[in-house]
């Protein structure tokens, strides 16, 4: 039954990450949301803010990691889980490894830039000094729907 409990917990936190993704959508950023959870409590939140901040590193995961590290007053997050609505890119996957994150749960896979199973396996690479337990596909459809909505709207405006 532990697995079932974990599944329910994963869905509950992923739903909150999807709500953060909606905030990014409202500010015309790619709708991705991320949470860092420690002992059942959210200690870091982030949504994409690349457009808002004019910062190529302002990914949801990076913002959530920074908030969690600040909250804990330490960079090691080895007993934390990140929930994110899209499979992390190479930069973010590398940051998860560097933060010594225990666990990653993501919703939709990213066949164009995913670094946690789709294109690369950074979080599982045995050449690195840490591996992150990874769970994929939790609430994948609602997260993917937000992304499709965003890009459909951008294409309708003639943007890429």
For 3, the token pair is: 């697995």
What SS3 class is residue 134?
A: strand
Cα of first residue to Cα of last residue in the chain, in angstroms, is 45
Active site residue 61: yes
Instruction: Give the SS3 label for residue 40.
Output: coil
- 104 has which bridge partners? 82, 134
- Which residue in the list 8, 61, 121, 141 is annotated as catalytic? 61
Chain centre to alpha carbon of residue 8: 18
Report the length, in residues, of the chain.
Answer: 160
Q: Kindly report the CA angle at 64 between 60 and 65, in degrees rounded to 5?
A: 115
Active site residues: 61
């Amino acid at each position: 039954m532990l697995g079932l409990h974990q599944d329910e917990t994963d869905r509950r936190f992923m739903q909150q990450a999807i709500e953060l993704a909606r905030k990014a959508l409202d500010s015309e950023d790619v709708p991705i949301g991320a949470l860092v959870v420690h002992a059942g409590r959210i200690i870091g939140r982030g949504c994409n803010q690349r457009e808002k901040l004019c910062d190529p590193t302002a990914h949801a995961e990076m913002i959530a990691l920074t908030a969690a590290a600040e909250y804990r007053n330490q960079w090691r997050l080895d007993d934390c889980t990140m929930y994110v609505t899209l499979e992390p890119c190479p930069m973010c996957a590398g940051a998860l490894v560097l933060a010594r994150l225990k666990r990653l749960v993501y919703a939709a896979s990213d066949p164009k830039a995913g670094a946690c199973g789709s294109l690369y396996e950074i979080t599982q690479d045995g050449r690195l000094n840490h591996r992150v337990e990874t769970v994929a596909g939790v609430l994948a459809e609602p997260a993917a729907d937000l992304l499709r909505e965003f890009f459909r709207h951008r294409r309708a405006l003639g943007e890429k």
